[in-house]
Amino acid sequence: MTVMCGPLDGVPMEVLFRGLDASGRQRMLRAATRVDAARPTGQVPQWQWFPDHIKRPDIHIDGAIPEILLSEISLYDEGGDWLEATIDVEWTPAGRLNVCAAMGMACWCPEDHGTHYAPSLNVPAGGMTSLCEAFEVAAHHLVGWLRGSPNPAHWRARANLPQRPSFVPPAVQERSG
Ligand SMILES: [Zn+2]
């Protein structure tokens, strides 16, 4: 599978979404630009796109969701805990386009789920006409979340998920003992 990566002005919207007209592409680009602007200061905006998924793949391998366009924004990554914001355009198993925006964070449940996505917003796109609308809605929510806390604990609390067990540095234990 081919994965392309680069800044927004390198994303070939007209190739990825052939049914989109010029104004639709402009709307997609404007919404993506707002996402780029909401990234943490100093972070280089990167987008990924998947030329093999322009046409919906026939087979979903391992239940993986075929994504067409994706951006992952890392907000926190320290000591095994992490938080990221994601937005993508993907295919549903029914062969429809869907735009998904989500906050992803490390799982600290007794059973390891790997990643929790909460909140997670799916905006179905019936066709190219509604694709740019769906992308605008998802981008709008993502920008709002990006303005929120960069602390994964905040988002786990909001979703009622178990928190990371508190870690006491050895030096502190020695002093208190
Ligand atoms: Zn979990």
92 is written with which tokens? 């549903």
Q: How far is the CA of 51 from the centre of ligand 1 (A)?
A: 33
Q: How far is the CA of 44 from the centre of ligand 1 (A)?
A: 30
How far apart CA 95 and CA 114 sit, in angstroms, is 27
**Which sign, positive or negative, has the C-alpha torsion 66, 72, 78, 82?**
negative
Q: How far is the CA of 76 from the centre of ligand 1 (A)?
A: 18
**Mind listing the pLDDT tens digit of every residue in the chain (177 residues)?**
899 999 999 999 999 998 889 999 999 999 999 999 999 999 999 999 999 999 887 766 667 789 999 999 999 999 999 999 999 999 988 888 999 999 999 999 999 999 999 999 999 997 666 999 999 999 999 999 999 999 999 999 999 999 998 755 556 544 444
pLDDT of residue 176: 47
Q: How far is the CA of 139 from the centre of ligand 1 (A)?
A: 26
Helical packing angle, 22-37 and 128-146, nearest 10°: 10
Could you tell me the pTM of the whole model?
Answer: 0.89
How far apart CA 71 and CA 86 sit, in angstroms, is 6
pLDDT of residue 145: 98
Q: How far is the CA of 162 from the centre of ligand 1 (A)?
A: 7
Q: How far is the CA of 54 from the centre of ligand 1 (A)?
A: 33
Residue 91 zone, left/alpha/beta (φ > 0; ψ -120 to 50; rest): beta
